[in-house]
């Protein structure tokens, strides 16, 4: 099988790029950034609840699938100079979702790239949502719409893990779902504003990096 793959890869070397050939099956509920092509792959499989629904209010879709798209875009930028993000996730204590027993800590180094993408993706999607409202006003008040955006983001990553699933995810590049949500929200000044989080609260950490992220986009 390996030899077959090598032969196929050698064969396509002399051919032009087929932009309709995907690196993922279309039914998969996932997304992918391919740095060597600077391309985002968004299979149709993820375009369903809880990430997307044509019947959802635009606010909900921006908070869910919008953040996922922003996440993949952020992968196009590097990890340098982001010690605050690394340290923040290094200090996350992971507990059992069944017994509340401490199971270990997140690896801020291993998950750094994905955590940066989560933070940047949420910020980018929110900015896109603001731009959308300029042309298509929301049925909600400004505050209610913003809250719904963040609630939609959190709902999209609602997940229950067994002990074995948690232990298996410790050294993976993606942080456990719960901490992907709280981690990005901790660093989001707009979330802190609308939910009135005190400056010294748990949900107020690396906001300066998120502000600085504007210079990259």
Q: What is the pLDDT along the chain (217 residues), one digit of tens a residue?
A: 445 444 545 555 566 656 656 556 666 777 877 776 777 888 888 888 889 998 999 999 999 999 999 888 887 775 654 778 888 888 889 999 888 889 988 888 898 989 999 999 999 999 999 999 999 999 999 999 999 999 999 999 998 898 888 888 887 889 999 999 999 999 888 999 999 988 777 665 775 555 444 433 4
Euclidean distance between CA atoms 56 and 143, whole angstroms: 18
Q: Check if 135 is active-site.
A: no
Question: For the chain, give me the number of helices (H) and strands (E)?
Answer: 10, 4
Q: Check if 190 is active-site.
A: no
What's the pTM value of the predicted model, to 2 decimals?
A: 0.73
| CATH 3.20.20.70, domain 47-216, yes or no | no
> Residue 198, Cβ neighbours under 10 Å: how many?
9
The single residue of 28, 37, 72, 109 carrying the catalytic annotation is 72
The single residue of 118, 131, 168, 190 carrying the catalytic annotation is 118
Q: State the residue for tokens 């027993």.
A: 101
46-55 CB burial, b ≥16 within 10 A, e <16: beeeebbeee
Domain boundaries along the sequence of the chain:
1-46, 47-216
Tell me if 50 sits within 8 A of 117, measured CB to CB: no
């Amino acid at each position: 099988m390996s030899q077959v793959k090598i032969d196929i890869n050698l064969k396509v070397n002399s051919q032009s790029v087929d932009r309709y050939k995907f690196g993922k099956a279309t039914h998969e509920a996932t997304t992918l950034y391919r740095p060597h092509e600077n391309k985002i792959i968004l299979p149709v499989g993820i375009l369903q609840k809880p990430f997307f629904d044509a019947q959802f209010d635009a606010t909900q879709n921006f908070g869910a699938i919008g953040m996922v798209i922003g996440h993949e875009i952020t992968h196009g930028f590097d990890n340098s100079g982001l010690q605050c993000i690394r340290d923040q996730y290094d200090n996350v204590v992971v507990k059992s979702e069944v017994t509340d027993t401490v199971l270990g800590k997140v690896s801020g180094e291993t998950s750094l790239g994905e955590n940066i993408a989560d933070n940047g993706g949420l910020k980018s999607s929110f900015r896109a949502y603001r731009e959308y409202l300029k042309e298509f006003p929301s049925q909600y008040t400004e505050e209610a719409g913003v809250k719904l955006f963040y609630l939609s983001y959190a709902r999209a990553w609602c997940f229950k893990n067994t002990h074995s699933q948690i232990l298996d995810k410790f050294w993976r590049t993606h942080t456990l779902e719960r901490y992907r949500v709280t981690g990005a929200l901790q660093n989001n000044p707009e979330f802190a504003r609308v939910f009135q989080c005190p400056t010294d609260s748990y949900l107020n950490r690396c906001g300066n990096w998120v502000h600085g992220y504007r210079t990259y986009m």
